[in-house]
Amino acid sequence: MDKELCSYPELDKHGFTCPVELTMDVIGGKWKCIVIHQLLDGPKRFNELRRLMPKVTQRMLTLQLRELERDGLVARRIYNQVPPKVEYSLTEFGWELAPIVRSMMDWALKHADTVMEHRSQSLAKTQA
Amino acid sequence: MDKELCSYPELDKHGFTCPVELTMDVIGGKWKCIVIHQLLDGPKRFNELRRLMPKVTQRMLTLQLRELERDGLVARRIYNQVPPKVEYSLTEFGWELAPIVRSMMDWALKHADTVMEHRSQSLAKTQA
DNA sequence: CAGAATCCCCTAGGATACTG
DNA sequence: CAGTATCCTAGGGGATTCTG
């Protein structure tokens, strides 16, 4: 396989130049990875997710969940009762993302302080 | 450790509720992961990156590179010559992202078609 | 409870032109 | 070659209100 001409027919057929671009298109939403991360722990109700993610508005949560649903990553189960109960869970396909999200979590726990150091340092330089 | 009260002091000190949120803040830019993916292959010059990423504008490439630099993930080496030569490479810290980006690539190569199927299916439903 | 509907804003990101 | 400098806009995202 030619290293310099490494294109991906399956991908650019759909307008993606690079595999990573496709993945980002799927999980790149501001809250998607966090939703998935929460769902790794088990199915969650809508307001349960809201409580777990205090900074996301319910509008945004809805939108991101809809996109995850569209891509087949998240299942939405409606219990027909009053008051309503809706449960979100990872599909089998959604579980395929677990390694990625877990490695994102591991990375953050290991390197959070390093990132913050770099940021404050480069901020200090612009200040000076 | 209490599962229900699983907060991360190091993180929410900086305003992050969840580890994954921090990671997304670092690599969540539209092109950052792709840049990193390209740099996994070795150092690259500016226009070399542009050629590898046809869809990114040079303005955006510059901005994303600057942020990656700020966070200490990418190094910028300037060769003092005419015409100018600038080489971007992953720092040691940047290499820590390799597992994540690689798993993103693997995922895409495995599941691209499945994603597309789901998308066209859910599109068909809205059409109907 | 789990949302849909509006309204609105901001900024991430694009297009184009210029430069050391 | 490797960028700045402007200008501009689509849409990502927020706040609020309403509902089955």
Walk across the sheet containing B44-45 and list its strands: B44-45, B85-90, B74-79
Query: Does the pLDDT at position A11 exceed 90?
Result: no
Q: Percent of chain B, pLDDT > 70?
A: 94
Query: What distance in Å separates residue A80's CA from the closest CA in chain B?
Result: 22
pLDDT for res B123: 81
User: What class is the A9-126 domain?
Assistant: mainly alpha
Q: What are phi and psi of B64, to 5 degrees?
A: -65, -40
Report the length, in residues, of chain B.
Answer: 128
Query: Does the pLDDT at position A113 exceed 80?
Result: yes
Q: Could you tell me the pLDDT band of residue B14, with boundaries at 50, 70 and 90?
A: confident
Q: Give the model confidence (pLDDT) of A38-59 as tens digits.
A: 999 999 999 999 999 999 999 9
Q: Does residue B71 sit at the A interface (CB-CB below 8 Å)?
A: yes
Q: Which residue ranges make up each domain of chain B? A: 9-126
Q: Please classify residue A82 by burial: count the beta carbons closer than 10 Å to its beta carbon, then call 0-12 exposed, 13-18 middle and 19+ buried.
A: exposed
B81 or B2, higher pLDDT: B81
The CA distance from B20 to B74, in Å, is: 21
Name every residue whose Cβ is closer than 8 Å to that of residue B55 and which is 6 or more positions away in sequence: A17
Query: Does the pLDDT at position A9 exceed 70?
Result: yes
Q: CA of A21 and C1' of D10: distance in angstroms? A: 20
